[in-house]
Structure 1
Amino acid sequence: MDLSLALLVALNKKAFAQEGLFVFGELGLDGRVKSSSMLFPLILSLKEQGLVKRAIVPKESICHLSHISGVDFIAVETLNDAILLFKEGKFASNVQHFEYDAKSLILENTSYYYEEKYESDFKEVKGQNVAKRAALIAAAGMHNFFMEGNPGCGKSMIAKRIKDILPPMQEEELLSVAKHQFLDGETPTFKAIRPMRAPHHTATSASVFGGGSGQAKIGEVALANNGILFFDEIPHFSKQVLEAMREPLSDRKVHIARVNAKIEYEADIMFVAAQNPCPCGNLLSKVKSCRCSEMEIKRYANKLSDPFLDRIDIFVVMQEVQSEDKSDVTSKVMHQAVIEAFKMQKSRGQERLNGKLKEEEIETYCLLSSEADKILASAIGKFGLSHRSIASVKKIGRTIADLNKNEKIEKKDILEALSYRRRK
Structure 2
Amino acid sequence: MKKSLSATIRDLNADEVSIEVNFLRGLPRINLVGLASSEVKESVERVRSAISESGFRLPPKVITINLSPSEIKKSGSHFDLGIALLIAMFDDDEVDFSDWHIFGELGLDGSVKDSNAIFPAILSLKRENKIKKVLIPKASVSKVSQIPDIEIYGVGTIAEAVDHFKGIVTLKPTIGNELSSESMKIFEKSFHFIREFPLDFDQVFGQNVAKRASTIAVSGLHNMILEGSPGSGKSMIAKRLQYVLPPLQKDEILDIAKFEALNGENPNFLPKRPFRSPHHTASKGSIFGGGTRTAKIGEVSMANSGILFFDELPHFTKQILEAMREPLQDYSILISRVNSKIEYPADFLFVGAMNPCPCGYLMSKTKSCRCTDYEIRKYQNILSEPFWDRIDLYVAMDEVSPEDKGGITSNEIFGKMLEAFYKQIERGQTKLNGRLDERDLEQFSRISERGLEVLKRGSERFGLSLRGMNKVKKVARTIADLDSAKDIEKSHILEAFSYRRRNSS
TM-score, with structure 2 as normaliser: 0.79
Partner of 2:492: 413
CA distance in 2, matches of 1:89, 1:141: 57
Partner of 1:156: 235
CA distance in 2, matches of 1:137, 1:72: 43
1:69 to 148, 153, 158: 148
* Richer in helix (by share): 1
2:450 to 343, 353, 371: 371
SS in 2 for 1:164: coil
Partner of 1:300: 379
**Correspondences of 1:94-133 after superposition (within 5 Å):** 94-133=173-212
Note closer, same or farther for the CA distance 1:14–1:409 as it changes in structure 2 (3 Å cut). Answer: farther
Deviations 1:30-78 (A, max 9, x none): 3333221111121222223333333222222011111112333222333
Q: Is the 8 A contact 2:295 2:340 kept in 1?
A: no
The one-letter amino acid of 1:189's match is N
C-alpha deviation, 1:11, in angstroms: 4.2
Partner of 2:346: 267
- Does residue 146 (structure 1) correspond to residue 225 (structure 2)? The answer is yes
Q: Is the 8 A contact 1:209 1:220 kept in 2?
A: yes
SS in 1 for 2:85: helix
Partner of 2:131: 52
Deviations 1:264-283 (A, max 9, x none): 33221100001111111111
C-alpha deviation, 1:328, in angstroms: 1.8
Q: Is the 8 A contact 1:74 1:91 kept in 2?
A: no
**Correspondences of 1:29-48 after superposition (within 5 Å):** 29-48=108-127
Note closer, same or farther for the CA distance 1:346–1:19 as it changes in structure 2 (3 Å cut). Answer: farther
C-alpha deviation, 1:302, in angstroms: 1.0
C-alpha deviation, 1:90, in angstroms: 11
The one-letter amino acid of 2:226's match is M
**Percent of aligned positions that are identical:** 50
Task: Specify which structure has the bigger relative contact order, considering alpha-carbon pairs within 8 angstroms and separated by 6 or more residues.
Answer: 1
Deviates more, 1:253-262 or 1:17-26: 17-26
**Correspondences of 1:194-205 after superposition (within 5 Å):** 194-205=273-284
Deviations 1:104-124 (A, max 9, x none): 111111211111111111111
C-alpha deviation, 1:85, in angstroms: 4.5
Deviates more, 1:108-117 or 1:215-224: 215-224
CA distance in 2, matches of 1:52, 1:249: 35
C-alpha deviation, 1:416, in angstroms: 0.9
Structure 1: gaps spanning 5 or more residues = none
CA distance in 1, matches of 2:301, 2:167: 44
1:228 to 292, 307, 315: 307
CA distance in 1, matches of 2:297, 2:463: 39
Q: Is the 8 A contact 2:445 2:477 kept in 1?
A: yes
The one-letter amino acid of 2:469's match is I
Measured on the aligned residues, the alpha-carbon RMSD in Å equals 2.3
Partner of 1:322: 401
The one-letter amino acid of 2:289's match is G
Partner of 2:8: none
CA distance in 2, matches of 1:198, 1:115: 21
4+ residue segments displaced more than 6 Å = 15-19, 89-93
Q: Is the 8 A contact 2:103 2:136 kept in 1?
A: yes
SS in 2 for 1:211: coil
SS in 1 for 2:364: coil
C-alpha deviation, 1:389, in angstroms: 0.6
- Does residue 240 (structure 1) correspond to residue 240 (structure 2)? The answer is no
C-alpha deviation, 1:134, in angstroms: 0.3
Q: Is the 8 A contact 2:294 2:339 kept in 1?
A: no
SS in 1 for 2:243: helix
The one-letter amino acid of 1:134's match is A
C-alpha deviation, 1:153, in angstroms: 1.0
C-alpha deviation, 1:200, in angstroms: 1.1
The one-letter amino acid of 1:327's match is G
Partner of 2:21: none
Note closer, same or farther for the CA distance 1:206–1:91 as it changes in structure 2 (3 Å cut). Answer: farther
- Does residue 6 (structure 1) correspond to residue 73 (structure 2)? The answer is no
Partner of 1:207: 286
The one-letter amino acid of 2:328's match is L
2:258 to 153, 176, 179: 179
Partner of 1:342: 421
- Does residue 390 (structure 1) correspond to residue 484 (structure 2)? The answer is no
Partner of 1:258: 337
Q: Is the 8 A contact 2:294 2:340 kept in 1?
A: no
Structure 2: gaps spanning 5 or more residues = 1-42, 44-79
C-alpha deviation, 1:214, in angstroms: 5.7
C-alpha deviation, 1:212, in angstroms: 3.9
TM-score, with structure 1 as normaliser: 0.93
Q: Is the 8 A contact 1:393 1:417 kept in 2?
A: yes
Deviates more, 1:250-259 or 1:396-405: 250-259
C-alpha deviation, 1:260, in angstroms: 2.0
Deviates more, 1:135-144 or 1:46-55: 46-55
